[in-house]
């Protein structure tokens, strides 16, 4: 049997009573009507225009590289866009889609036609022809004007027109995507080439600096101001720079 002091027994008793009282109160509590007063925000309530300004549905301008002030980069992009087979194909698809949409639009409009014919013939001398006209040449002019309109009761023509317009928009988007992808690739390659040239200039400057240090060190060794250790160190640094 474990012996406990009176103070420890009193604390244990108070703890047990507190636990029992809390359990009783929790069982008697009524949670009805308790709910959060927070509502989920709607997308229209979020001020996205402040952090993400809209471009108005327009693709980036083809001369976006002009903002960097590098005429050579702009010339490279313009040349690539002018002679890219992918862009030529995209333009051909746009032209085909536009022609198809115009044809679909024509089906929703009234159709008007006109025709003209002219014939000349010699009438026979048969007894069926009046004597005044028998054996003479006669001309016949005929003009025909027609109009028609198809009642699109089931919306077939309207759906075809909407589909054709969507096709035009899709092909235009594909063409803009090709332009943007090509110009971005050229800009990245151009910037990478510029970075490599900058690193090459830095490396050449470092080699020149190491050569100067080696020249000075050799002179100091000949004058007895440095030892062979300093010269070997300068030679090693020069070789590493090369």
Long-range interactions of 81-85: CB distance < 8 A, separation 24+: 81/179, 81/182, 81/183, 84/178, 84/182
pLDDT for residue 114: 76
Q: Are residues 97 and 168 in the same domain?
A: yes
Domain span including residue 234? 67-109+157-242
Do 83 and 179 share a domain, yes or no?
yes
Per-residue DSSP letter, 58? P
Query: In the predicted model, is pLDDT for residue 149 greater than 70?
Result: no
Residue 1 has pLDDT above 50, yes or no: no
Q: Give the tens place of pLDDT for each residue, 24-78.
A: 555 555 555 555 666 666 666 666 555 555 555 666 676 777 777 778 888 888 8
Q: Work out how many domains the chain is built from and give that number.
A: 2
One domain, residues 77 and 136:
no
pLDDT, tens digit (0-9, with 9 covering 90-100), for 204-230: 888 888 888 878 778 777 887 777 777
In a domain, 28, yes or no: no
Query: Do 116 and 234 belong to one domain?
Result: no
Checking if the pLDDT of 3 tops 50, the result is yes
Would 179 be classed as within a structural domain? yes
Give the H or E element holding residue 8.
helix 6-28
Give the tens place of pLDDT for each residue, 162-221. Answer: 777 777 788 887 788 888 888 888 888 888 888 888 888 888 888 888 888 878 778 777
| Final residue in a domain of this structure, among 148, 167, 196 | 148
Q: What pLDDT does residue 121 have?
A: 75
Confidence of residue 109 (pLDDT cuts 50, 70, 90): low
Which of 4 and 143 is assigned the larger pLDDT? 143
Statement to judge: residues 77 and 129 lie in one domain: no
13: number of Cβ within 10 Å: 10
Q: In the listed set 120, 148, 176, which residue is the last one of a domain according to the structure?
A: 148
Whether residue 4 lies inside any domain: the answer is: no
- CATH assignment of the domain containing 169: 1.20.1600.10
């Amino acid at each position: 049997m474990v012996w406990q002091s009176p103070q420890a027994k009193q604390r244990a008793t108070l703890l047990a009573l507190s636990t029992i009282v809390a359990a009783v109160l929790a069982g008697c509590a009524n949670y009805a009507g308790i709910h959060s007063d927070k509502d989920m925000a709607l997308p229209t309530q979020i001020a996205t225009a402040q952090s993400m300004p809209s471009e108005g549905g327009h693709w980036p301008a083809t001369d976006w590289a002009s903002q960097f002030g590098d005429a050579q980069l702009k010339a490279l992009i313009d040349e690539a866009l002018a002679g890219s087979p992918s862009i030529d194909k995209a333009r051909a698809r746009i032209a085909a889609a536009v022609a198809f949409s115009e044809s679909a639009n024509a089906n929703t409009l009234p159709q008007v036609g006109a025709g003209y014919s002219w014939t000349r013939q010699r009438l026979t001398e048969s007894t069926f022809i009046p004597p005044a006209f028998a054996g003479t040449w006669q001309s016949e002019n005929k003009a025909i004007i027609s109009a028609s309109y198809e009642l699109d009761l089931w919306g077939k023509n309207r759906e075809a027109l909407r589909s054709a317009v969507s096709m035009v928009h899709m092909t235009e988007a594909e063409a803009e995507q090709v332009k943007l992808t090509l110009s971005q690739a050229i800009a990245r390659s151009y910037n990478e080439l510029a970075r490599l040239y900058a690193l090459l200039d830095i490396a050449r400057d470092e080699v020149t600096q190491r050569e100067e240090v080696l020249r000075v060190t050799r002179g100091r060794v000949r004058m007895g101001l440095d030892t062979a250790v300093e010269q070997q160190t300068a030679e090693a640094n020069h070789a590493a720079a090369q």
